[in-house]
C-alpha cells in the first residue's frame, strides 16, 4: 500500500486504527501474516517494531511468535518416544519425567522455561531429595530435551546453563 508521499513500504505494513493507535504487520517466511501483539501510540513506534522484525529476518534470528508455545509435557514425551533407546533407558527417562520434571514444568510452554526457573527447580530438588545423582540425571534429561527444542527452532537458547549440574559425584 502506498503511503501519503506515494511511496510503497519496502517491508510490512503500518496502519492507524480509529482510536488513533497504530499497528504493524508483515509476511513471515512461512507466508503467514504476523501482527504486533500490541498497539502503538505513534506511527514511529510501529515502524520501529517493524524494523526490528525485519532486522531479525535478515540476520536469520527470526522465530515465529508461536514457536515456543509448545507444551513441555507433550514435547518431552514425544522426545523420549522418538529416540531409539534401550528399554531400561526409556523406563528411566519416563521415571525422571514423572517424578522430577513434569511436576515443575509439565504445565508450561517451552518458552516459559527460563534459566532462573531451572535454577530454582534444581535447588528445590536438591533440598527435597538426598539423591543428588537422580537430580543430575533429571537435569541432563531436561537439558537434552531443551537442546532439541533449540535445534527445532522452538526456543532461541537452552535455559539449562548450570555448570556441573549434570555431573554425578563419584562414589567414594
**Overall domain count for the chain:** 2
What share of the chain has pLDDT > 70, as a percent? 88
Residue 134 lies in a domain: yes
Kindly state the cell numbers that stand for 63.
522465530
Q: Which regions of the chain are under pLDDT 70?
A: 1-8, 60-68, 169-172
- Same-domain status, 84 and 105: yes
Instruction: In whole angstroms, give the CA distance from residue 151 to residue 67.
Output: 12
Computed on alpha carbons and rounded to an integer, the radius of gyration of the chain in Å comes to 22
CA distances from 89 to 84, 86, 93, 137, 141 (A): 10, 5, 6, 11, 11
Q: What percent of the residues of the chain are helix, what percent strand, and what percent coil, each to the nearest 5?
A: 50, 10, 40
Residues 27 and 88 in one domain: no
Q: Which of 139, 169, 150, 138 is nearest to 111 (CA)?
A: 150
Residue 1 lies in a domain: no
Count of C-beta atoms within a 10 Å radius of residue 82: 9
Residue 147 burial (CB count, 10 A): 13
Determine the pLDDT at residue 35.
Answer: 86
Q: Does 140 fall in a domain?
A: yes
- Contact status, residue 168 vs residue 137, Cβ threshold 8 Å: yes
Residue 162, all three cell numbers: 548450570
**CA quadruple 41, 45, 50, 56: dihedral positive or negative?**
negative
pLDDT of 26 reads 86
Q: How many CB atoms lie within 10 A of CB 101?
A: 21
CA separation for the pair 78, 122 (Å, rounded): 23
pTM as predicted: 0.65
Domain containing residue 30 = 13-59
Q: 48 in a domain, yes or no? A: yes
Say if 100 falls within a structural domain: yes
Look up residue 19 and give its three cell numbers: 482510536
Amino acid at each position: 500500500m502506498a503511503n501519503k508521499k506515494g511511496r510503497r513500504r519496502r517491508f510490512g505494513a503500518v496502519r492507524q486504527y480509529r482510536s488513533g493507535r497504530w499497528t504493524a504487520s508483515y509476511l513471515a517466511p512461512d507466508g503467514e501474516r504476523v501482527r504486533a501483539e500490541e498497539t502503538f501510540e505513534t506511527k514511529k513506534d510501529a515502524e520501529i517494531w517493524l524494523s526490528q522484525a525485519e532486522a531479525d529476518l535478515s540476520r536469520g534470528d527470526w522465530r515465529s511468535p508461536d514457536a515456543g508455545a509448545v507444551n513441555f509435557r507433550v514435547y518431552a514425551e514425544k522426545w523420549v518416544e522418538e529416540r531409539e533407546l534401550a528399554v531400561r533407558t526409556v523406563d528411566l527417562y519416563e521415571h525422571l519425567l514423572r517424578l522430577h520434571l513434569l511436576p515443575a514444568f509439565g504445565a508450561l510452554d517451552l518458552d516459559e522455561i527460563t534459566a532462573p526457573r531451572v535454577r530454582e527447580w534444581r535447588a528445590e530438588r536438591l533440598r527435597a531429595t538426598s539423591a543428588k545423582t537422580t537430580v543430575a540425571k533429571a537435569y541432563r534429561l531436561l537439558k537434552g530435551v531443551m537442546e532439541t527444542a533449540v535445534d527445532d527452532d522452538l526456543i532461541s537458547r537452552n535455559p539449562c546453563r548450570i555448570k556441573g549440574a549434570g555431573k554425578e559425584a563419584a562414589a567414594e
